[in-house]
Amino acid sequence: MKMTTGTGLALALVLTVGLLPASAQPKKLNIVLIPGLTTDGFYITMRKGAEEAAKRLGVTLSFQGGPDFSATTQIPVLNAVIARKPDAILIAPTDKQQLIAPLKAALDAGIKVITVDTFIGDTGKYQTGSGVADFPLSYVASDNVEGGRVAARALAAAIGNKGKVYVSNVKPGISTTDQREQGFKEEMKKFPGVSVLETQFNDDDTNKASSQFAAVLARNADLAGVFGTNLFSAQGAANGVKTAGKKGAVKVVAFDAPESMVADIKSGTIDIAIAQHPAEMGQKGVEFAVAALSGKKVPTRYGTGYTVMNKGNIDDPKVKAFLYSSK
Ligand code: T6T
């Protein structure tokens, strides 16, 4: 009987709300996801996860970002979003320092701030009560130092623990790729036969990463391997290897897993790909924003995992499920 009464009450509420004028309807929470850049499969996949959670929780999610991975293009987008006063912003800050003040403006406007993928400040530790960049509520991302360590071990194994390698990186100041390089170099110290050459910074440009590969190879004919710290760095290194006819001779360990990874791994152009879980970052980001907006405490740090892809497992549907989607 109680059930009937409860259902009746719920129905009455639904009907009442339905009769209210639009202005008096309960407002749907409005969350904006600002990626590092809009055209990167990593962030497109993150968006899908965020949209799934938004639909499930009955909130509105929009996706708005810049055309490249840079603070110069991201800050105006962020400012425009703040002016619209959403309830929460999920953002992958493109620079550890340059995004602190613009995000503080979001906080001051009463908007909840969560960072996904990258962090602001020096540590990625939020809500500590110290420092100028601890105000975001949560940091949802991979463990990027550990990812760099995984890459170092994989590359060392692929080259028989000896030879010259280098890191193809994006640009200094990005928390994720800085930490991947840091973890890689720390771990490589355990392999005395491996020498790590000077890092090449490619500005997230595949073509630049590819010509840098050619230049490093020209200076080091005995080059044994490359670690590409993100999707574009790794793709550029792989293209460089193909163009130079060095497939198999120079080993590539890649961060990230675009759809093209299947062919690159099968053909032996890339040995190992460390796939992140961006869909989960989007899902958790939305879930945490909604929880925080209803007054609940959320974890200040949530780590998403990795799936390591290689020739032996790339056809396994459970592994393939973690390839990024570019559309
Ligand atoms: O590797 C990801 C992301 O984690 C990084 O912060 C920037 O580059 C990617 O988006 C891949 O292109």
What confidence tens digit (pLDDT) does each residue in 9-52 have?
Answer: 344 444 444 455 656 667 899 999 999 999 999 999 999 999 99
Own/partner contacts of 51-58, CB < 8 Å, gap of 24 or more, are 51/282, 52/279, 52/282, 52/283, 53/282, 53/283, 53/284, 53/285, 53/286, 53/287, 53/290, 54/286, 57/286, 57/287, 57/290, 58/28
Encode pLDDT of 65-108 as tens digits: 999 999 999 999 999 999 999 999 999 999 999 999 999 999 99
Percentage helix, strand, coil for the chain under 3-state DSSP, each rounded to 5: 45, 20, 40
Assigned fold of 144-276+310-320: Rossmann fold (3.40.50)
Q: Decide: 118 in ligand 1 pocket, CB within 6 A.
A: yes
Measured in Å, residue 230 CA sits from the centre of ligand 1 at 5
Whether 28-142+277-305 and 144-276+310-320 share one fold: the answer is yes
Atom 8 in ligand 1: which residue has the minimum CA distance? 230
Give the number of C-alpha atoms closer than 13 A to the C-alpha of residue 257, restricted to the C-beta side: 25
Q: 214 alpha carbon to ligand 1 midpoint, in Å?
A: 23
What CATH number does the domain located at 28-142+277-305 have? Answer: 3.40.50.2300
Is residue 256 within 6 Å of ligand 1 at its C-beta? yes
Mean pLDDT of 163-167: 98
Query: What are the pLDDT digits (tens) for 299-308?
Result: 999 999 999 9
Going from the Cα of 10 to the center of ligand 1, the distance in angstroms, rounded, reads: 45
**Distance, CA of 268 to CA of 271 (rounded, Å):** 6
69 contacts 232 by C-beta, under 8 angstroms:
no
Each domain of the chain, given as residue ranges in start order, spans 28-142+277-305, 144-276+310-320
User: pTM here?
Assistant: 0.92
Question: How large is the average pLDDT for residues 213-233?
Answer: 98
Straight-line distance from the first to the last Cα atom of the chain, in angstroms, rounded to the nearest whole number: 50
